[in-house]
Structure 1
Amino acid sequence: MRRLLRILLLKPILWAAARFSSRPERDRIFKALSLLQESVEKEPGKKGLVIPFAATAGKFIIFSDHHKGRRNGADDFTAAESNYLAALGYYHAADYYYINLGDSEELWENYLWQIKKPNQQCFEAEKKFLDHNRYIKMFGNHDLFWDNDPLAAWQLKSIYGEKVKVYEGLVLKTSIDHPDSPLTIFLTHGHQGDASSDGNWFSKFFVARIWAPLQAYLRINPNTPAYNAEKKTLHNHLMYEWSADRANSILITGHTHQPVFASLTHLERLYKNMELALQAKDEKAIEAAKAGIARYEKDFTSVAVQYMQMRPTYFNTGCCRYADGDITGIEIADGAIRLVKWSAQKGREVLEEMQLEELVRQLCVGDR
């Protein structure tokens, strides 16, 4: 039956996917992000929280895009679970806030009841943060269920043992010892502006409860930025363009599964390092950059034209479902912001780091 339906419905579904699926549109994305941040700051607690913190004392870990499934062949989180649990154990012991930035549960391909038991250990690890009032859960496009299903609140209580509010946005605010010191950090999943999952309540319900399960049953993958290099590049560019136009502010998202630090992907940073090494005539650094570019270029071919001039306004967590089991996230702690990776071989590894004071300095230079 599945095979027959797939033959009959493949063309109509592919047409509909092209017509209605994830299509980054500049004006729509800009409007959605601006309205969300404005709503969070004007009415804290409704769509999101506003949390002030001391730059040198605040501790936050941000993970996104786990896509926890039912531990079958289609569950990409399976290989990453042990690294995720190790990371949560580390951050809980170190008194971090845990910001879960959305798409934590894969509810396009699964029903919630199917993933509860396989992920019980993960839910218990997350609950430890909740028990100390240090857990902030947000929704993305693959777990829109948390935002629009009338039973979502009951289901969350059954998982965590208490009420859990799920938000769309979050604003962190801090001050740095600098003439233009206020820093605003706006966080959201990053699907805002997607016509298929960020529209009115009906479109959200249709995608989460009808469209996505149909695609999953017929085994037709949705064409989202996470799986489409062209859309991933465009999406990151639009996120950067929106964030670069805002004073003393940075944007942190997930959604694309591609880590971005200070507005640069890893490949873009390698190209920038090579340009700087060429200017300094540093042969050792030139060769190191070339080797890195050769290693990563086959998987990530797109590079922003203006990578040498980009302001450090956009950050992306990456994801918790890489094929090798590694996970990436963003840390804010000890007066710094970091891109970190957790792997079975090395545990926690800092890939990129910048002091918040230096971040604010660079933002202020660009604003003048």
Structure 2
Amino acid sequence: MSSNNRITNAFLNAKKLELSKESKYILFSDCHRGDNSFADDFSHNRKIFHHALSQYLQKDFTYIELGDGDELWENKFVNIFNANKDVFLLLKKFHEKNRLHLIWGNHDMDYKNPKKVKKNLNYYYDVTDGKEKELMINISFSEAIKLEQKNGRSIFLLHGHQADWFNYTFWKLSRFLVQILWRPLQLVGIKDPTSPAQNFKGHIKVESRLEEWIKKNNNQMIITGHTHRPRFPAPNELPHFNDGSCVHPRCITGLEIENNQITLIKWHVITNENGTMQIKRTVLETSKNISEYID
């Protein structure tokens, strides 16, 4: 199956959510939550991510995670949970308010299987009192989501590895190579060169395939992750956005949708004049009206 067909199938079968002036969405992807080892790229941003998500919870945003939330290629889920319990309990609060929607990517493609989702995310074992407790009962993952207006126009959300044939079709082989070869090397500081996030030519090809699909489908606005490279096009360019990742060296990036506006933001740590450290939200690209891209 071609990348064009894979993207089209995801589009036709996408989960639908409402998009209106009252909608408030925050989009992050590529957290790659790990086990807090030296190979865990998320560990240095965990506190930033938790603080940012806490702020969005207080402000009644709905959280959509665009894939690769859990680093299942390198870790057992129990180790991921134990290293990120505070994050999962925060996700639980979004879920209880029906404001959590999850998309699977290539690194958590196991979540295509509802049995795997149920096994990992319905309950957790609390080591503090030795009891099994509810986590996110009946949570589900989608391949894609459409944020749809009443007029039928929409924003298409997916991870983006549908345009990366090796990481979609042969993801189990990719996982094997990461587990056997690249994880041990990553422990000593060597990055996986097969990842599109590390391979410039790789993510250019992925982006090109996505943009070819956009051209063939009436300039459908699309938001992806996967390449870890933030994208925020001008209204006269192809409407291909990317929320970046949560494993940048010193920040996390994401996209906010509020009041029919879309904004590229980052959360990062700054040092104040008195020496105290603060987690701050910074706008990377000035808000644009969604109507400039989908009307």
1:107/1:35 CA distance change after superposition, 3 Å: same
Per residue, is there more strand in 1 or in 2? 2
Give the equivalent residue in structure 2 for 1:341: 266
Q: Does 1:355 align with 2:289?
A: yes
Q: Does 1:322 align with 2:248?
A: yes
| SS of equivalent residue, structure 1 residue 192 | helix
Deviates most, 332-341 or 347-356: 347-356
Structure 2 counterpart of 1:167, one-letter code: S
In the alignment, structure 2 segments of 5+ residues that lack a partner are 125-134, 187-191, 271-278
Q: 2:161 aligns with which of 191, 194, 204?
A: 191
Give the equivalent residue in structure 1 for 2:10: 36
Cα distance in 1 between the residues matched to 2:185 and 2:178: 10
Q: How much is the aligned-residue C-alpha RMSD, in angstroms?
A: 2.2
Q: Does 1:167 align with 2:125?
A: no
Structure 1 counterpart of 2:161, one-letter code: H
Question: How far is the alpha carbon of 1:193 from its aligned partner?
Answer: 3.7
Question: How far is the alpha carbon of 1:211 from its aligned partner?
Answer: 4.2
1:30/1:310 CA distance change after superposition, 3 Å: farther
Per residue, is there more helix in 1 or in 2? 1
1:351/1:216 CA distance change after superposition, 3 Å: same
Deviates most, 342-351 or 101-110: 342-351
Q: 1:219 aligns with which of 166, 185, 189?
A: 185
1:198-242 Cα shifts (integer Å, max 9, x gaps): 23xxx455544x444223455373602111011122222222232
1:248/1:232 CA distance change after superposition, 3 Å: closer
Cα distance in 2 between the residues matched to 1:337 and 1:164: 27
CA contact (8 A) 1:69 1:75 kept: yes
Cα distance in 2 between the residues matched to 1:106 and 1:188: 17
Deviates most, 132-141 or 219-228: 219-228
Q: 2:26 aligns with which of 49, 58, 61?
A: 61
CA contact (8 A) 2:35 2:83 kept: yes
Structure 1 counterpart of 2:108, one-letter code: D
Equivalences, count: 271
Structure 2 counterpart of 1:256, one-letter code: T
Question: How far is the alpha carbon of 1:169 from its aligned partner?
Answer: 0.5
The 5-angstrom pairing of residues 277-292 of structure 1 reads: none
1:37/1:143 CA distance change after superposition, 3 Å: same
Q: Does 1:332 align with 2:257?
A: yes
Cα distance in 1 between the residues matched to 2:18 and 2:2: 29
**Structure number with bigger Rg:** 1
CA contact (8 A) 2:35 2:75 kept: yes
Give the equivalent residue in structure 2 for 1:7: none
Cα distance in 2 between the residues matched to 1:213 and 1:196: 16
1:217/1:320 CA distance change after superposition, 3 Å: closer
| SS of equivalent residue, structure 1 residue 344 | strand
1:257-277 Cα shifts (integer Å, max 9, x gaps): 0000127xxxxxxxxxxxxxx
1:32-73 Cα shifts (integer Å, max 9, x gaps): 101111122xxxxxxxx111221x110100000011111111
1:236/1:195 CA distance change after superposition, 3 Å: closer
Give the equivalent residue in structure 2 for 1:50: 16
In the alignment, structure 1 segments of 5+ residues that lack a partner are 1-26, 41-48, 176-180, 264-308
Give the equivalent residue in structure 2 for 1:232: 203
1:78-132 Cα shifts (integer Å, max 9, x gaps): 1111110111111111111100111111111212222110110110111111010
**Percent of aligned positions that are identical:** 30
Structure 1 counterpart of 2:157, one-letter code: L
Cα distance in 2 between the residues matched to 1:235 and 1:204: 15
Structure 2 counterpart of 1:98, one-letter code: Y
Structure 2 counterpart of 1:214, one-letter code: I
Cα distance in 1 between the residues matched to 2:213 and 2:26: 23
Cα distance in 1 between the residues matched to 2:181 and 2:138: 31
| SS of equivalent residue, structure 1 residue 141 | coil
TM-score, length-normalised on structure 2? 0.84
Structure 2 counterpart of 1:135, one-letter code: L
CA contact (8 A) 1:198 1:204 kept: yes
